[in-house]
Structure 1
């Protein structure tokens, strides 16, 4: 017999209903519930365990080696003007150019620090701490001990490996309930080990539920056979990533051992059509035919890779390859002689796995910094809570 559980929201969820979406699962189609869960507002049953529902914002962005300007406003990307999420997980690719100096040389941490500063400014805009700008005090990995009026956000962990950068932010009242925070980096680029491609994964326990967020940059290329390299990269990341098992309690060691997993990044899967046909379909916004030939969805349907993973319905334009500072795809412009004009594709994706994780939003965002558009998703995450630790 199942346990009685009561469902609690840590914060008020917006009353605005988001449209229902379909999900691409492993060989099946399932439907996601709207933002307001059916169980919310009902009288809870008594029992030894409770479940909190947290709102998780996750986004991936390949910034093409471009450093952000000092006045880059990230509020639209982070949806921080109109909504309030409990956790933000932000994955970047190519925060530095992927040249030999950056791949083999010392890490340029000043770039990641600048991104974190801009994120803090967007999440904590107009919040003041002891007469100082709050974003200046929330970009460190260590907890902030100063008093604040109301909620604020701080970075609990960020990690850079060459161009891959993952940054996790949480609201202040949530931090005491996060523990066993760990990071694992896997290089799968040049010689199968360098960090120009690969993953940066961050995991933690929130209350009694384990989360793992995996930011990837997989093998590029549109030639025949390149899709297999991407599949191998993904399998390698899942196999080689390891976290500490824990000394006083059993903790998940591998990505797939966690209760809830989100994998995001420039996965680099392309459209398996001739470039001229792809461009023609993009011009007419015929997403249905393009998606029928999307390499990643084809891998889902074959069932040999990404077993059990899900992805939200794609209703947005291909995220690559744009001309920087433009809404036009790269192939619309005259380039240098002999320069390859890559056909558009949905390179940037967000996948998830695990019981109690529900996606309620999946979309792109119109930032023109690079040749990729950022992609973002919102999840409702059920989280087990021990008796007496509700917050």
Structure 2
């Protein structure tokens, strides 16, 4: 039996969130700064995972048609910026896009990757507003990422509250432990939430921005108010805002556009985690950074990013060989291949999948890989086996 040594992962995982309303324009500016990759880059401090959300990506028919043949330009731009990371998945709802990337060494530890979306525009018929979600498990911990674009305009606070609750109520997942957004171990909700600032004149806002004094404006921020009242997002936490309002700016120029809209913190990143989800461990989340990236000028919004460290299971290797070790099992004669998916921090048990070694492979001829399961194993439609190139950099099957 061949033994494949796997490195013990760090007990923490670094997650980087970035959100940007790109006002129907393609990628023009270098994204590395918004992704925390401006030089000098310290490899040891790089995120383990990226969750990137865009709003108002062009959804014109000609653009959607071109994507039948070419990759969405914003996804390609992220791939180029994160060329050392592996693409996991993305989901799109008209102008909303959410994409997940991870370091290559973590690919084999991902489980239960699912995506869904909820339309909230025009009473749930139109997808110009809504939420897109990707959930997955990493080292035994469940994570959920929600990118949303809620109703616009200062007077539509109640509509935004309704849209939040609609997304919460409608989105469901095929997972016995985390069936909805709020039941995951870690949940991140971000995007153009479109909450504005009440009871502030334009002159008061200009003075606050010029003096970098945002306390009074933030006290009148609609999102803070609805959270305090328990009307929406009260289940989530937000880091302290120390950056200026991220909307509305002049496009392709520095400075706010005060002619039509009051400045506001429309672009936000919120988070929650279930500290005592398990009997034998206490989960933890530490926020480290919450900033806007003011040098970007191609949109009337500024990108916003947040950086977190999460506690994960250092011993949860379980299926730790799903891609590369499957090849090892077939070619090196490994007779047992562990497909056990324990709860976070649970003790690993015996393998439930057994591969029968392949004696001979013949080039250019079809071959079969036979396996059998333990008697108490229940196979489901979501179960699958993937074969990947040894140099592969994506979970997409080839």
> Which of these residues, 131, 146, 171, is aligned with residue 199 of structure 1?
131
Does residue 1:291 correspond to 2:250, yes or no? no
- 1:343 pairs with one of 262, 268, 291: 262
Equivalent in the alignment of 2:185: 259
Contact 1:262 1:350 in 2 (8 A): yes
* Aligned-residue offset at 1:96: 0.9
Tell me how far apart the structure 2 counterparts of residues 301 and 200 of structure 1 sit (CA, whole Å): 25
Aligned equivalent of 2:145, options 213, 231, 247: 213
Match of 1:325 among 242, 247, 252: 252
Q: Does 1:95 align with 2:71?
A: no
Classify the secondary structure of the residue corresponding to 2:258. helix
| Residues 322, 292 of structure 1: alpha-carbon distance in 2 compared, 3 angstrom cutoff | same
Q: 1:166 aligns with which of 84, 95, 98?
A: 98
Mapped to 2, the partners of 1:358 and 1:199 lie a distance apart of 25
Alignment match, 1:312: 239
318-327 or 300-309: bigger deviation: 300-309
- CA separation of 1:159 and 1:323: change in aligned 2, threshold 3 A: same
Q: What's the C-alpha RMSD, in Å, of the aligned pairs?
A: 2.5
Whole-Å separation in 2 of the counterparts to 1:112 and 1:372: 24
Check 1:211–1:218 CA distance in 2 against 1; reply closer, same or farther (3 A cut).
Answer: same
Higher relative contact order (CA 8 A, sep 6+): 1
SS in 2 for 1:192: coil
Q: Is the 8 Å Cα contact of residues 34 and 304 (structure 2) preserved in structure 1?
A: no
Structure 1 residue aligned with 2:291: 363
Match of 1:188, SS state, is strand
Distance 2:171 2:184 in 1: 12
Q: Following the alignment from structure 2 to structure 1, what is the Cα–Cα distance between the partners of residues 69 and 21?
A: 18
Shift of 1:111: 8.2
CA–CA distance in 1 between the matches of 2:71 and 2:57? Answer: 7
Residue 167 of structure 2 corresponds to residue 240 of structure 1: no
Q: Distance in 1 between matches of 2:195 and 2:30?
A: 29
Structure 1: which 5+ runs fail to align?
A: 1-7, 12-51, 125-151, 333-340
Distance 1:281 1:111, change over 3 A: farther
> Which residue is 1:303 aligned to?
230
Measure, in 1, the Cα distance between the counterparts of 2:62 and 2:152. Answer: 18
The answer to whether the Cα contact below 8 Å between 2:161 and 2:231 also exists between their aligned partners in 1 is: no
Contact 1:271 1:278 in 2 (8 A): no
SS in 1 for 2:172: coil
Q: Structure 1 stretch 377-386 or stretch 262-271: which is displaced more?
A: 377-386
Q: Please state whether the residue corresponding to 2:249 is helix, strand or coil.
A: coil
* C-alpha displacement of 1:196: 0.2
TM-score for the superposition, normalised by structure 1: 0.71
The aligned residue for residue 374 of structure 1 is 303
1:111–1:285 CA distance, 2 compared to 1 (3 A): farther
Paired position in structure 2 for 1:79: 36
Residue pair 1:95, 1:111 contacting (<8 A) in 2 also: no
Q: Distance in 1 between matches of 2:232 and 2:97?
A: 25
* Deviating 4+ runs (over 3 angstroms): 8-11, 105-112, 385-391
In structure 2, relative to structure 1, the CA distance for the partners of 1:95 and 1:385 (3 Å cut) is same
Q: Distance in 1 between matches of 2:206 and 2:68?
A: 38
Q: Secondary structure at the match of 1:381?
A: strand
DSSP-derived class of the 2:291 partner: strand
CA deviations 1:29-56 (Å, max 9, x no partner) are: xxxxxxxxxxxxxxxxxxxxxxx20000
1:281 paired residue among 196, 208, 215: 208
* CA–CA distance in structure 2, aligned partners of residues 228 and 166 of structure 1: 25
- SS for the counterpart of 2:162 is helix
Q: 1:187 deviation in Å? A: 0.5
Aligned residue in 2 for 1:55: 14
Of 337, 350, 353, the residue aligned with 2:272 is 353
Task: Tell me how far apart the structure 2 counterparts of residues 281 and 107 of structure 1 sit (CA, whole Å).
Answer: 45
How far did residue 358 of structure 1 move? 1.8
Q: Which residue of 2 aligns with 1:114?
A: 73
Q: Which runs of 5+ in 2 are unaligned?
A: 1-6, 276-283, 321-398
Larger radius of gyration: 2
